[in-house]
Every structure is written in C-alpha cells, then in structure tokens.
Structure 1
Amino acid sequence: MDASAGLWGLFASAFVSATLAPGGSEAVLAYLVHTGYALPAELVAVASVGNTLGAMTTWGMGWLWARRRPLEVEAIENPRQRRAVASLKRWGAGMLLVSWIPVLGDGFCFAAGWLRLSLVLSVAYIAIGKAMRYAVVAWLAG
C-alpha cells in the first residue's frame, strides 16, 4: 500500500468518526501503529487533525442550526441533550476536552456550536482531547 493512501485512509476514518456518522478510527490507527506503517507520532497527528476537523464540522452544524433555532434549553425535550447543553453552558469550551467520548462528544461539539462558544477555544480543546486519546491508542497498540 502506498504511504499516502494509508495516511489518507486514516484521515478519512478519523474525520467520519468525529461527525454524527459512526466510525472506527481507533482500530485503523492501532492497526497502522502495530504494523509499523509509519511513525506513531505521524499517525497520531494525522488522526488528530482528521478527527478535529470532523468535530469542527459538527460544531459548524450546531452554529448553523442556531441561526434557524436559537437556543432555548428549556425547549430541549431529550433529557440527555438538555444535560449536555447545560454542562456546556456551565463549564464552557473546556468540556470539549472530552469530545472524543463516542456519541456524547458529538453532542458536545454540536451544542458548542449552537451555543456559539468561541471558535478558537473550541478548536483548541477539541484538538487537545482528540490528540491525547489517539496518543493513548497508539501507545497501547505499539
């Protein structure tokens, strides 16, 4: 397999995994690390960038949704969604450090955009959380 094809595949897997669609980027990363496909740091960087951009796509969807439906926490019917939004309102962009948690993290990213949290802080916290998660996966796979 061509070196760039594997990196692009990892990037795409990480991107899709961070949107509202399901994905398995951790398994792809672990496989590539385990087989010595590339340097673990390079693989972690590619997966982190792809996953962060995917999360920011979800953040952007929330931002666009806010233009159509301004946020009214009381109007949110789903209790889990209401708690996620309340947590973000209370703790701010720092909550996005845990945006890597499956399903819950996607909701945090969407809600952060909906709440119009700082783009710069959102990117920073998301990127840090994603990179830390991928670094642990790479370490375990190596």
Structure 2
Amino acid sequence: MQDMLFFATDTVLAWLALPGVGLSAIFLVSTLAATLLPLGSEPILFAYVREVPDMYWPAILVATAGNTLGGVISYAMGRGARRGYEAWKARDGEMAGAAPTANDRDAGDRWHRYARSVLDRFGPPAMLLAWLPAIGDPLCAVAGWLRFAFWPSLVYMAIGKFVRYLTITGALVWLFPGGG
C-alpha cells in the first residue's frame, strides 16, 4: 500500500513537472493554494518564470486566475455554510418552538464582533487582503458567510492576488536573476 501511495505521488509530481506542463501546473497549484490546504504557489511560479522568462506575464495571469478561482471556491463554501447553518437553526427553532434570534445568528466573543464590524465596514474591498498568508483563505470563506456582493468581492480578490504575484515574483526574479 505504501509503495502504491509513493508511486501515485511520484506520478502526480512527474505530471506537474516544469516546464513540460507549465501553465496548467501553475493554475492547478495556485487554485489549490487558495483553499484551506497548506500549499504555496509562489515556488512553482518562480521556477517556471526562471525556466521560461518569456512567459512571465502569462504565468502571472494564470497564477492570478487560479488563485482567484480558489478564493471563489472558499467564498462559495462560506456562503453554503451560512445557508446550511440558517436552515439548521430554523429547523432547530421549529422543534423548540421558537425562531432563531439575532443573538443566535451573531453569537461570538469580543474578537468575533470586532472582526465582523471591520469586515462589515469595509465590505468587498476587504477582499484586497485575500492574498495574505493564514488570513486570506479564511477571509474568502468569511466573505461568503457574511454575504458580501459576489462580483465586487471577486474583482477585489483578483486585484489583491495579482499584486501579490507581481510583487513576489518580480522581487524573486530581481534577487535571483538567471534562467532558461
């Protein structure tokens, strides 16, 4: 069984090898990295850009598209979780003979209330921070939970992720010149 797992992992890594697959690997890894999986997409993007410098802009755009798609997946999961929670509370309230109250929907400690007030104040522009490590991925899910408007959230999310890839990849290319 362990040999089979090692073979499968080896096969997937070989399939994603650069520059053979290139942009599709960047898209896949960037999408997965924007979910709650602990994965970074910058190393594969930088490796590809060093190997194929002429593909700098397409690689940045593909990474941005993939990472934005991952953020949209997290957003949809947050929105779906909210619907499920509300349906569960409505069903639970009917069984107990009472409808859910505002306190039931907005329960939380002081930090929760503060974070929610900040996000409510900024709304979709808060999604510019969706690129931040450890904060960005859950932020996308919270935006769905709080029912931020989808299209503005998508635009701000994409802008933030684009600027991140542009800055990090540009800095890495500047610090470590060379390539194919």
Relative to the length of structure 1, the TM-score reads 0.88
Cα distance in 1 for partners of 2:80, 2:109 equals: 20
- Of all paired residues, the percent bearing the same amino acid is 34
Please give the residue correspondences for 1:70-85 in structure 2 after superposition, counting only pairs within 5 Å.
70=86, 72-73=105-106, 75-76=107-108, 79=111, 82-85=113-116
Match of 1:10 among 26, 35, 43: 26
**Letter aligned with residue 141 of structure 1:** L
In the other structure, the counterpart of 2:40 is 24
Does the alignment pair 1:39 with 2:70?
A: no
1:98-137 alignment to 2 at 5 Å? 98-137=129-168
- Whole-Å Cα distance in 2 between the matches of residues 63 and 17 of structure 1? 20
Partner of residue 81 from structure 2, selected from 65, 84, 89: 65
Structure 2 equivalent of residue 140 of structure 1: 171
Distance 1:35 1:14, change over 3 A: same
Q: Is the 8 A contact 1:7 1:43 kept in 2?
A: yes
Give the letter for the 1:72 counterpart.
R
Deviating beyond 4 angstroms after TM superposition, the runs of 4 or more aligned structure 1 residues are 1-4
Residue 76 (structure 1) shift: 3.2
Write out per-residue CA displacement over residues 20-50 of structure 1, whole angstroms, 9 at most, x where no aligned residue: 1111101111111122265110000010000
Specify every segment of 5 or more residues in structure 2 that has no aligned partner in the other structure, as ranges. Answer: 1-16, 87-103, 174-180
State the aligned residue count: 140
Q: 1:32 to 1:87 in 2, by over 3 A?
A: same
Q: 1:76 to 1:16 in 2, by over 3 A?
A: farther
**Cα distance in 1, alignment partners of residues 172 and 130 from structure 2:** 22
Task: Please name the residue that 2:6 is paired with.
Answer: none
- Would you say the 8 A contact 1:19–1:54 is kept in 2? yes
* 1:141 Cα deviation after fit: 2.5
Which residue pairs with 1:48 in the alignment?
64
Task: Please list every run of 5 or more consecutive structure 1 residues that lacks an aligned counterpart in the other structure.
Answer: none
Supply the RMSD in Å over aligned alpha carbons. Answer: 2.1
> Displacement of 1:82 after TM fit?
4.9
